[in-house]
Amino acid sequence: MYDLIRDFPAHLEEALAIGRKAALNPPGQPFRNVVITGLGGSGIGGRIAAQVVADEAVCPIEVYSNYYLPAYVGKGSLVIACSYSGNTEETLAAMQQALHKGARVACITSGGTMLETAKAKGLDHIVIPGGNPPRTMLAYSLTQQFFLLKHYGIIQSDFETSIAKAAHHLKTGQEAIKEEGKRLAEFLFGKRPVIYSEAATEAVSIRFRQQVNENSKELCWHHAIPEMNHNELVGWAGGDKSLAVVIFRHKDDHERSQIRMEINKEVFAKYTTHIHEVWSKGDDRLGRQIHLVHLGDWASWYLAEKKGVDATEIGVINMLKGKLAEVK
């Protein structure tokens, strides 16, 4: 796991090379909506991409992490199915629904049933390297989301330059990022993490929560501002010193949300002294989110080390999949 996290910047560079070589069919007619379907480590790339491009996408983009798709999917819809293994049963079910409804389907996968189906039906697909835990291959799945969105005319921005710059910054700043991740892990050790960010960057909070769950074997939760100000903030009346607040912040967060964050900290401080802000770094929105992803990954690994747990092991998920396989 250490090596895979360390190699994240190189993965971004390789992912760019893969996307540039992808052989895709002509984009065809304009699309009225986009649905990205995927779960866990396979699905988080779609969530990050959808939020990053929200202010330029020419049509709605929605992320679905379930067996089904919304009723509006049909002809004129683009469905991007992402399953690292190619065998995620929920994503395969959603993909079949998309095909049945007449939607345009594109796939991001390393193999499995998804790749077999894509080849058999002549679907657009981008193949990424296999054989690793899906959560460690985010650089590949995230990057290909942007290639597909641009190919189909949903976005026009120069994401390749953004990703290349982010990879360079992560490489040159790797040791500093590791040290910050180690300090964050020390801050969280022995406490229950509570993760906040502005709504526009919630996907990065989700990624960190998932990494703390899987790598650090730790329960935690996240919420987004301003929504949490309308419900969860009241719940802090039940807070205590066992909770450790992590706030992911960006210099381009909405100015009113930044004011809210400062007021929120005053509320948190009534119940816990453990409040830690993490400011993103980078040249643009995508680069700053990639920076926080990498920092969070390191923090989850160092937290696993402090707890003495195996960051790679996910036995309970494999058990669940095995039991599901027994049910026909």
> Strand runs (DSSP E) across 27-185, as ranges?
33-37, 61-64, 77-83, 104-109, 124-127
- Residue 67, CA distances (Å) to 23, 61, 98, 247 in order: 28, 18, 11, 32
C-alpha 310: how far from its chain's center? 22
Buried/exposed 226-243: b ≥16 CB within 10 Å, e otherwise: eebbeebbeebeeeeeeb
Q: Is 214 tagged catalytic?
A: yes
Query: Which stretches of 173-278 are DSSP H helices?
Result: 174-188, 202-214, 232-235, 255-268
Catalytic residue chosen out of the listed positions 21, 230, 270, 328? 230
Q: Give me the residue label for tokens 């706030």.
A: 247
Q: Is 230 tagged catalytic?
A: yes
Catalytic residue chosen out of the listed positions 198, 202, 214, 218? 214
**Cβ neighbours of 58 (radius 10 Å):** 16
Tokens for 262? 């400062």
Catalytic residue chosen out of the listed positions 121, 241, 251, 321? 321
Catalytic residue numbers read 214, 230, 321
